[in-house]
Chain A
Amino acid sequence: MSILEIHDLEVVYRGRDGTPVRAVAGASLAVDVGEIVGLVGETGCGKSSLARAAVGLEPAASGDIIFDGQRVQVLGRRARTKRDARLQMVFQNPYGSLNPRRTIGDQVADGLRILTEDSGGQPRARVKELLRRVGLSADVAERHPHQLSGGQRQRVAIARALAADPRLIVLDEPLSALDASVQAQVANLLVELSRDLGMGMLLISHDLAIVRHVAQRVAVMYLGQIVETAATRELWNAPMHPYTRALIDAIPHPDGLGRLPEALTGEIPDPARPPTGCRFHPRCPYAFERCPTDVPLLTEIAAGRNVSCWLYDSAARPTPLGAAAV
């Protein structure tokens, strides 16, 4: 059962000259109860816009976002309901989302208030429990954000999200500002929380390698569209979309083998003027006649495996991108 369903989402911004830019151009995605889904893609692919729209921080130009059976409304001045609060978001830079003048304990307690509809109260015990839940000692409650390391601040941001007893947390690059040795701690914490609390997560990241260790399923985004979704292991072992393959081949591994990663030709196009047909075709080493003209749709190729690429259309295909061909 899905806790979050996104159907044909479009997020549109006004460009500098007033022309509309479709940052998200018809994306569909679902997160099951208790599942961690990774959404990966490079700068400007629209993954953060999708994340912000998913929690109501950005209006959807069209499409539907359903959380726990009901449509997500854009957050405005109205107070969030208890139900709204069960959809939480964590950002890349926790320094930007924590108030430097207030103690950690007070800020985590904010998250509890909406749940208990309690203006003051004695949530101290619960705050300490939450801090321990994310691997911090209870005395962190008395400190201020600047007294903590980056990894500790990110744990606080997660604790605050947990305070509202969420069913889904959307995390936008929660690991990328952290040192490598600390990144693994927070990555493992996410897996643990999801498993122990039955909580869904949508993990937005540019780093496919770390997502592989955290997410059960991965969606790959390119220029506003989802180009492939698959179980993490299958996606990694046998990527189908040429862009997914390029992303994997470009990752340098610390294996001491001295292999130079593969570069993808060209640049990410301007989302205000996306290429015709398949948006990836100008950079795709396998593009053929059909790709610049016809838009491929995200199609189920096998169970749980969706790809938007003409190579997998049996009527159009010249050579399949199977193991033999590549």
Chain B
Amino acid sequence: MKPLLEVSDLRVDIGGVNIVDGMSFELQAGQVFGLAGESGSGKTMTALSLLGLLPGGARTSGRAMLDGVDLLTLDASAMRKVRGRKVAMVFQDPTSTLHPMLSIEHQLTEHLRYHLGMARGDARRRAVDLLTQVRIPNPDAALRGYPHQFSGGMRQRIQIAMALACEPRLLIADEPTTALDVTVQAGILRLLDRLRRETGLAVMLITHDLGVMSAVADRVTVMYAGRIVEEGPTADVLRRARHPYTRGLLDSLPHPDAGDVPLVPISGTPPSPAERPSGCAFHPRCRYALDRCRAEVPPLIALAPQRAMACPVDPLVPVLVA
């Protein structure tokens, strides 16, 4: 099947500092594609580059093909027609996208009228449908409300409803549940899963939380310091991690069956983009690092179809997790 989105060799530089270095991935309709990484890994900038939302002074190269159009080459007005219409984005903090002084109805119908040219009455009916779809109780009353009158979880649902207004093919969700309590997070994850099943929506899910990935992502790509270090089907990446960083990350996380064993942290901290180490950027934190890891950037090695990782020392790594 032809992918909905095909990104190849994406590179992002901001103010002369390299942020994303050669990302390639594809995304099918109805698929949840997970982009995992810690702060400074470049996952958010990857997403923003697809929507032309990078800060000033940013330069991109590579290709990002959506429906035969390269998103990286669009000018501002062409991008405005894609954004919201074909690709929509939700952020960690819904208060940053919801206007505090405008009613929910105003904000939801604005999209429909701008992009689809709907009449007021039609737009309102569609807004009620959207709120119903994201399970906002009593949608008629909710339309008259203002953002501050809703809880964090409800605001996130409203943000998702807004993103879905023009039936985009792709939803980019950047840490959509990170600010929410776990009991509320579970509801949002279930919502995203239902939407992709029922509507064929493709979701690009960006999160540092591998538990969240495990719950909803079909495929996961793990980023470290601007590059892909490992990718594959979620179950395989999480249960048979091959890259020392992915393994280290999994060992440092609380695990459901291992409450009494101490967590095994990775030493050091993720580097900021301006201070990325040479060679494999993970080498200063890697207990398997060899001399050549300091000098050479390890290429992504295919392990199986759709499965790859970027570490030359893997064959030497004893299997720590069954």
Report A's interface with B, CB cutoff 8 A: 42-43, 149-152, 179-185, 187-188, 191, 206-210, 212-213, 232-233, 236, 246-247, 250-264, 267-268
Contact string against A for B residues 216-235, beta-carbon threshold 8 Å, 1 for contact and 0 otherwise: 10000000000000000011
Taking the closest CB of chain B, its distance from the CB of A237, in whole angstroms, is 8
Asked if A254 meets B264 with Cβ closer than 8 Å, knowing A181-B270, A206-B181, A261-B215, the reply is no
Closest approach, in angstroms, between the C-beta of A55 and any C-beta of chain B?
A: 24
Determine if B312 is an interface residue (Cβ-Cβ < 8 Å): no
Known: A180-B249, A253-B214, A258-B235. A268 touches B265 (CB 8 A): no
Question: What residues on A are CB-neighbors of B264 within 8 Å?
Answer: 184
**CB-based contact B259/A256 at 8 Å:** no
**A207 vs B209: C-alpha distance when bound (angstroms):** 12
Pair A254/B253 contact, Cβ less than 8 Å: yes
A181-B248, A185-B267, A259-B215 are known; give 18 further A-B pairs, CB within 8 A: A42-B181, A180-B249, A181-B252, A184-B253, A184-B263, A184-B264, A209-B256, A232-B259, A236-B259, A250-B182, A252-B185, A254-B211, A258-B216, A259-B214, A261-B185, A261-B186, A263-B183, A263-B187
Of residues 35 through 53 on chain B, the ones whose CB sits less than 8 Å from some CB of chain A are 38-39
B211 & A256 in contact (Cβ 8 Å cutoff): no
Give 23 pairs: A residue, B residue, CB < 8 Å, sorted on A.
A42-B181, A149-B269, A179-B39, A180-B209, A181-B265, A181-B285, A184-B265, A185-B265, A187-B263, A212-B259, A252-B214, A254-B210, A254-B250, A256-B214, A256-B238, A256-B239, A260-B193, A260-B215, A261-B186, A263-B184, A264-B187, A267-B151, A268-B181
Query: Are A246 and B265 within 8 A (Cβ)?
Result: no
Decide if A258 touches B234 in the complex (CB within 8 Å). yes
Task: Choose among B254, B264, B265, B266 the residue with the greatest number of A CB atoms under 10 Å from its CB.
Answer: B254
- CA–CA, A78 to B285, complex, Å? 47
Taking a contact as CB atoms under 8 Å apart, the answer to whether B252 and A256 are in contact is no
Q: Does B201 contact A (CB under 8 A)?
A: no
Q: How far is the CA of A236 from the CA of B214 in the complex (A)?
A: 21
Is the Cβ of B183 less than 8 Å from the Cβ of A250? yes
**B189 / chain A contacts, CB cutoff of 8 Å:** 252, 260-261
Beyond A236-B259, A261-B189, whether A179 also contacts B211 by CB under 8 A is no
Which residue of A179, A183, A206 has the most chain B CB atoms within 10 A of its CB atom? A179
Q: Which of B186, B254, B267 contacts A262 (CB 8 A)?
A: B186
Closest to B212 in A: A252
In the complex, the answer to whether B269 meets A43 with C-beta atoms within 8 Å is no
> B152 at the A/B interface (Cβ < 8 Å)?
yes
Pick from A184, A233, A252: contact of B252, CB below 8 A: A184
* Distance from A180 Cβ to chain B, minimum over Cβ atoms (Å): 6
Q: Across the interface, do B254 and A152 meet the contact criterion of CB distance under 8 Å?
A: no
CA distance A260 to B181 in the complex (A): 15
Please name all residues of chain A whose beta carbon is closer than 8 Å to the beta carbon of B292 when the two chains form the complex.
none
The complex places the Cα of A104 from the Cα of B253 at a distance, in Å, of: 29
| Highest count of chain A CB atoms <10 Å: which of B182, B253, B259, B267 | B182
Q: Which 7 A-B pairs have the closest CB atoms?
A: A256-B238, A252-B211, A184-B265, A254-B210, A184-B252, A209-B254, A184-B263
CB closest chain-A residue, reference B37: A179
* Category for how many chain B residues contact A: 35 or more
The CA of A132 and the CA of B54, in the complex, are separated in Å by 40
CB distance from B232 to the nearest CB of A (A): 10
A185 and B38 CA atoms in complex are apart in Å by 15
Assembled-state Cα–Cα distance A255/B213 (Å): 10
Rounded to whole angstroms, the CA-CA distance of A63 and B269 in the bound complex is: 43
Known: A232-B259, A252-B189, A264-B186. A43 touches B235 (CB 8 A): no
How close is B276's CB to chain A, nearest CB, in angstroms? 14
Q: Is the CB of B249 within 8 A of A181?
A: yes
B211–A267 CB distance below 8 A = no
User: Are A256 and B253 CB-contacts (below 8 A) given A180-B208, A182-B265?
Assistant: no
Determine the chain B residues whose CB is within 8 A of the CB of A179 once the complex forms: 38-39, 208, 269-270
Contact of B259 among A183, A206, A207, A213 (CB under 8 A): A213
B153 CB within 8 Å of chain A:
yes
Is the beta-carbon distance between B183 and A246 smaller than 8 angstroms? yes
- Complex: A116 Cα to B238 Cα, angstroms: 51
CB of A253 within 8 A of CB of B183, answer no
Per the 8 Å Cβ criterion, residues 153-208 of B in contact with A are 153-154, 181-187, 189-190, 193, 208
CB nearest to A232 among chain B residues: B259
Judge whether B211 and A253 touch: CB under 8 Å.
yes
Residue picked from B185, B214, B235, most chain A C-beta under 10 Å: B214
Residues from chain B with a CB closer than 8 A to the CB of A42 are 181-184
Q: With A213-B263, A260-B193, A267-B151 as known contacts, state yes or no: A255 contacts B183, CB within 8 Å.
A: no
Q: Is the CB of B151 within 8 A of A268?
A: yes
Q: Are B269 and A182 in contact (CB under 8 A)?
A: yes
Cβ of B291 under 8 Å from chain A? no
Q: Tell me how far the C-beta of B211 lies from the nearest C-beta in chain A, rounded to whole angstroms.
A: 4
Chain A nearest CB from B222 CB (Å) reads 12
For B265, the chain A residues whose CB sits under 8 A away are 181-185, 187-188
Which of chain B's residues 2-56 have a Cβ closer than 8 Å to chain A? 38-39
Query: Residues 261-278 of chain B: 1 if any A CB is under 8 Å from the residue's CB, otherwise 0?
Result: 011111101100000000
Query: Given the known A-B contacts A181-B249, A256-B237, A256-B239, are A250 and B259 also in contact in the complex, defined by CB atoms under 8 Å?
Result: no
The residue among A150, A183, A191, A263 with the most chain B CB atoms within 10 A of its own CB is A263
**Nearest CB on A from B255, distance (A):** 7
A152 close to B259 (CB less than 8 A)? no
**B residues less than 8 Å from A182 (CB atoms):** 265, 269-270
Closest to A261 in B: B186
A213: shortest Cβ distance to chain B, in Å? Answer: 5
Does B75 sit at the interface, judged by CB under 8 A?
Answer: no
B269 touches A152 (CB 8 A): yes
Q: A206-B181, A247-B183, A261-B186 are in contact. Are A180 and B252 (CB under 8 A)?
A: yes
